[in-house]
Chain A
């Protein structure tokens, strides 16, 4: 573990729905060192998804400061947040979110193309990741031809292809059966151990959260415990 790769100070987020204002985050403070596998747990409405979205540059904060891999996300405009997603963070979603028209290989190539890397060839390091994920022989299949577990492993491969500073995983086992859930969690832990990949994982599954080095508990838009 080294310097914080994520620094969050007094983070606030207020959503407006019609005339109603909803305070999703109420002064969150968090530091994540580089190389940490951090689990964030909490019930629905606790603010963990909002935190995830702000750290990933999908939505701007209302107040406070968020620095991700040296970039002040709180001051970034839409272009800055797009650049953050393109080069510094990657997502793994509960619903896999693979492009359904493309093969697994083309899904990965699309991420590489968007990040400005050559999509034509996978380097040796990435080939090793594909071997580790066990999908090297499944790359020419479309998502509809893959099992849930395979789809999620392709999504992880796609997320890692651009060598992000931070991997953000939103309920990565939420749509998987127990065996596949365990496999994915072990893979995330393995990737963290082997590559030193910083991982921020949101889950409401206590067992899944145990795979992280640290568990942060959220409730009502605030961090209530960290252990």
Chain B
């Protein structure tokens, strides 16, 4: 009987119910979109790192494993590393941050092709001229640039020489030597990718390189992939806590206000229930059940809206902000919304419980 009473109350005021659910859905969507963006970005980063075709990545001492660090490695170290036991190939690449999470990769096309297996060209050719840039299809779609078009970064116009399939380290590629000059790096690289003669030698070579190049960041690509996760993204956790906090506050006040209004509107009905002998517990259960239902509806709506944000973000910026749908966060976002909804309904429920049945019955 309780579900029926709750359902009929909710159904009786569809606009209020829908608006409340929509407002509860906002923080759910916020949380799921943020998590989705981080997850999508990290997942895509993982794929792009593995697309290099290397077994080990080496970074400068003190460089963060995940973020683009200003610290660099002397390029003369690349041939030294290449001559180490079991190392078949070592290449230096330069990461040049552009804006936000976008960056250009400086490469030597021949070396990079040899390690990665080469780009798959949708159009154009490889890097030749100093102002050539290769862009992948996502970037080309996002920025609406075609073959021969211009891309501006580092205070310079670059001409799109080729459009390639995505999945190889970055979305934009330029000649390493050129970007080294633009960035004032001289003969330095951001990282060294290392390919081994056999995967069987991976662990021993990682250990060897760590000992020999003490202080340098030496990670197998598998280790690097495991580090690229939501939990390891710098500053994400405090940012996420802020978003969750905002979500809790929104859901709390939305439900509190909505249920407060509902209790006021339903004063007479509460009086009727009390005249029938309804206990305070039952009245409270009815109010909290309604809030729970609104929280649940808001969660479902929030999940659906996160698909909408995914579609919208992908339509506007497919390369920079890939948003994943992270199913494991559905229950977490739902628990946050429903917890806040129930907390918000507590005060109105207390008001309902304390209502004098005679006054409630006389309420017009």
Which residues in A have some Cβ–Cβ distance to B below 8 Å? 53, 56, 58-59, 78-79, 82-87, 90-91, 93, 97-102, 106, 109-111, 113-115, 119, 158
CB distance from B183 to the nearest CB of A (A): 69
User: Of B4, B268, B277, B358, which one neighbours A97 at CB under 8 angstroms?
Assistant: B268
20 contacts between A and B (CB under 8 A): A56-B275, A58-B275, A78-B280, A84-B277, A85-B274, A86-B276, A86-B278, A97-B272, A97-B275, A99-B269, A100-B12, A102-B4, A102-B5, A106-B4, A106-B8, A110-B1, A110-B273, A113-B1, A114-B282, A158-B276
CB distance from B10 to the nearest CB of A (A): 9
User: Of A93, A100, A115, which one neighbours B277 at CB under 8 angstroms?
Assistant: A115
Interface size grouping (class) on chain B? 20 to 34
CB distance from A102 to the nearest CB of B (A): 6
> Residue-by-residue, is B351-364 near A (CB-CB < 8 Å gives 1, otherwise 0)?
00000111001000
CB distance from A123 to the nearest CB of B (A): 17
Q: Does A114 lie within 8 Å of B358, measured CB to CB? A: no
Q: Does B358 lie within 8 Å of A99, measured CB to CB? A: no
- Decide yes or no whether B201 CB sits under 8 A from chain A: no
Q: A101-B8, A101-B9 are in contact. Are A85 and B275 (CB under 8 A)?
A: yes
Q: A101-B11, A106-B8, A114-B282 are in contact. Are A85 and B358 (CB under 8 A)?
A: no
Docked pose: A98 CA to B4 CA in angstroms: 16
Main secondary structure of the interface of B (DSSP, over half): helix
- Decide yes or no whether B71 CB sits under 8 A from chain A: no
Q: Does A102 lie within 8 Å of B8, measured CB to CB? A: yes
Docked pose: A106 CA to B357 CA in angstroms: 21
| CB neighbours of B128 from chain A (8 A) | none
Q: Does A58 lie within 8 Å of B272, measured CB to CB? A: no
The 5 closest A-B pairs by CB, nearest first: A86-B277, A113-B1, A85-B277, A101-B12, A101-B8
User: Of A58, A98, A109, which one neighbours B1 at CB under 8 angstroms?
Assistant: A109
> Residue-by-residue, is B41-56 near A (CB-CB < 8 Å gives 1, otherwise 0)?
0000000000000000
| CB neighbours of A59 from chain B (8 A) | 356, 358
Docked pose: A106 CA to B11 CA in angstroms: 15
Q: Does B5 lie within 8 Å of A58, measured CB to CB? A: no
Docked pose: A99 CA to B280 CA in angstroms: 18
Q: A53-B358, A97-B268 are in contact. Are A110 and B276 (CB under 8 A)?
A: yes
Docked pose: A119 CA to B5 CA in angstroms: 13
